[in-house]
Structure formats: C-alpha cells, structure tokens
Amino acid sequence: MEDMKRTQGAHKIVLSGRKTAVVSGVLDVLSFDTKEVLLETEMGMLLLKGDDLHVNRLTLEKGEVDLDGRIDSIAYSENNHLKGEDGFLKKLFK
C-alpha cells in the first residue's frame, strides 16, 4: 500500500493569489487548524502557515488537498528531521 501511495504522481503546489492552494503528491494530513496545515508529501514534510485556513477537499487516494484562506508561508523538511527535541517541527511551532 505504501509503495502505491508513493508512485501516484508528482508532487506539485499551485498557489493562487495567496488565497488558495492545490497540493498533489500528498501522502497524509498530519494536522490542520486555521493557522497551520502539516502535510506529509512525496518530497518531505510540508507546513503551510496563514490565517483562516480551511481544507476544502482531501482525496488521499489521489494524493490531493485543496486549501483556502490567507497563506503566509510554505516550508519543507525532510522526513528524518522531524523527531527529537531539536527537530524541525519543534523549531517551527515555538
């Protein structure tokens, strides 16, 4: 199953006017609220920050997520840097 997910297609982000984003190549949604959305993608962990963020469509079978709201930043991290006290996510969420 994991191999099938990783071969679904290329990872891509289409950002329109900082108001909407369509993300493909998504393996999992790890967390989301109105300020942050954390996605596991084929290219590593992806953190989108902003305000009034909403997940409008989530199709993990196709690996796609549609978001809207005000998108202020997009940051990547490799999967192996997420754990531990000095991990990427810990620094981002301080």
Tokens found for residue 39: 């996605």
Does the pTM exceed 0.85? no
Of the candidates 34, 79, 82, which has an alpha carbon nearest to the alpha carbon of residue 54?
A: 34
Beta bridge partners of 59: 64
Rounded Cα distance, 16 and 66, in Å: 11
Q: What is the CATH number of domain 2-92?
A: 2.60.40.2000
- Strands 12-16, 64-77: pairing is unpaired
Rounded Cα distance, 72 and 62, in Å: 26
Q: Which amino acid would we find at residue 40?
A: E
Tens-level pLDDT at each residue, the chain (94 residues): 444 444 456 899 999 999 999 999 999 999 999 999 999 999 999 999 999 999 999 998 999 999 999 999 999 987 644 444 455 555 555 5
